[in-house]
Amino acid sequence: MFRFLFSRIGLLIPTFLGVTIISFGFIRLLPGDPVLLMAGERGISDERYAELMDQFGFSRPIWEQYFDYLVGLLSGDLGTSIVTKKPVLTEFLTLFPATVELGLCAIIIAVALGIPAGIIAAVRRGSFTDQTIMGTALVGYSMPIFWWGLLLIILFSGILQWTPVSGRISLMYFFPQTTGFMLIDSLLSGQPGAFKSAVSHLILPSIVLATIPLAVIARQTRSAMLEVLGEDYVRTARAKGLSSSRVIGLHALRNALIPVITTIGLQVGVLLAGAILTETIFSWPGIGKWMVDSIARRDYPVVQGGLLMIAAIVMIVNLIVDVLYGLVNPRIRHT
């Protein structure tokens, strides 16, 4: 098991280095630069332009800038935003809990609904229920997030007025951010109604963000279950007279879960990508919105630091999935 773990961690190092090069180079490959964008229509003289590029350190050879970036990374310094003048890591840590909170809720919804939906569809293969579930999953998978989010806002917040339009909590609640997780902070604040308000603000964005992963998980569960249900040992279990729920729950599901776990792990990347749009629609102050703003402003340190952190998170989650995979299926850790 340890050998398996070390080999997986060993793979992370070159991947991480590759990500530093991509995150550093990617934003610089885009035309335009932060000084020109900052000056806008007002323009800037050539001398002043050169002075500012020097000041930000962007006029130095690219390899020198990259080397400084790597040295900074080793000491935990991701650089300083050229727009807000704050350390990138501080900004990331301020905003990240909001994204995690939203992502966790979304993945819980996706798993809690997606796996049972997939099982039901597989067990009732070819039936009306199966077709309805898979049809809905296909629609969910193809739904443009921006349109879907606005549609839900207009219906549930505008017409029915069941949920708030956007934000993380009602503006009447104001308490310090102890953990950054609004559900926890609202409980800690002791203010009556704060937790309920935080939950009500989470509902719509979580549903929107969960839509695509839910569809993917449901489809994956169905296909994995169908495969397993046709196996000899399932037939044997049935022949032994085990109840249908026992066969499905104990024998089939456990093996069908292996590819589903991989799928759930891969959905972390999908969630972070989806968070960019979801956070924009719901004015959710997370890292997705932060990255979009920074790309538009060519805030190099934020974009490269943010990309690196996001990539690191995806890598770590995939590592955890690999380990879980190994635990669930011992054959994997020996290959």
Partner 1 sequence: MIIRRTMKAALLGASLSALLVSAASAKTLVYCSEGSPEGFDSALYTTGTTFDASSKPVFNRLVEFVRGSTEVRPGLAESWTVSDDGLEYTFNLRKGVKFHSSASFTPTRDFNADDVIFSFARQLDKNHPWHSYTAGASWEYFNGMSMPDLVKEIVKVDDYTVKFVLTRPEAPMIANLAMDFASIQSQEYADKLAADGKMELMNQEPVGTGPFQFVGYQKDAVIRYQAFADHWAGKQPIDNLIFAITTDASVRLQKLKAGECHVVPFPAPADVADIKADPNLTLMEQEGLNVGYMAYNTTKAPFDNPKVRKALNKAINKQAILDAVFQGTGQAAKNPIPPTMWSYNAAIEDDAFDLEAAKAMLDEAGVKDLKMKIWAMPVQRPYNPNARRMAEVMQADFGKIGVDVEIVSYEWGEYLKRSKETDRDGAVLLGWTGDNGDPDNFLAVLLGCDGVGGSNRAHWCHKPFEDLIQKAKVTSDKAERTKLYEEAQVVFKEQAPWATIAHSVVFMPMSSKVSGYVMDPLGGHWFDGVDIAE
Chain positions contacting partner 1, by CB under 8 A: 30-33, 36-45, 48, 52, 55-56, 80, 82-86, 91, 94-95, 150, 153-154, 157-158, 161, 164-168, 171-178, 189, 191, 280-283, 285-286, 289-290, 293, 298
- Shortest distance in whole angstroms from residue 195 CB to partner 1: 15
The set of residues, in sequence order, having a beta carbon less than 8 Å from that of 184 and lying 6+ positions away, is 178
SS3 166: coil
Neighbours of 226 (CB within 10 A): 16
The DSSP result for 106-147, as a single string, is HHHHHHHHHHHHHHHHHHTTTSHHHHHHHHHHHHHHH--HHH
**C-alpha closest to that of 28 among 71, 61, 75:** 61
- Shortest distance in whole angstroms from residue 201 CB to partner 1: 11
Whose Cβ is closer to partner 1: residue 59's or residue 244's? Answer: 59
- Shortest distance in whole angstroms from residue 150 CB to partner 1: 6
- Shortest distance in whole angstroms from residue 245 CB to partner 1: 45
Whose Cβ is closer to partner 1: residue 292's or residue 332's? Answer: 292
SS3 160: coil
Neighbours of 316 (CB within 10 A): 12
**C-alpha closest to that of 168 among 214, 105, 212:** 105
Whose Cβ is closer to partner 1: residue 95's or residue 260's? Answer: 95
Whose Cβ is closer to partner 1: residue 171's or residue 239's? Answer: 171
- Shortest distance in whole angstroms from residue 149 CB to partner 1: 9
User: Locate tokens 């609004």: which residue?
Assistant: 182
Residue type, 306: G
Angle between helices 88-123 and 128-142 (to 10 degrees): 160
Whose Cβ is closer to partner 1: residue 80's or residue 263's? Answer: 80
- Shortest distance in whole angstroms from residue 61 CB to partner 1: 20
Whose Cβ is closer to partner 1: residue 67's or residue 174's? Answer: 174
- Shortest distance in whole angstroms from residue 47 CB to partner 1: 11
The set of residues, in sequence order, having a beta carbon less than 8 Å from that of 157 and lying 6+ positions away, is 163, 164, 165, 204
Whose Cβ is closer to partner 1: residue 62's or residue 327's? Answer: 62
Residue 312 in tokens:
């690191």
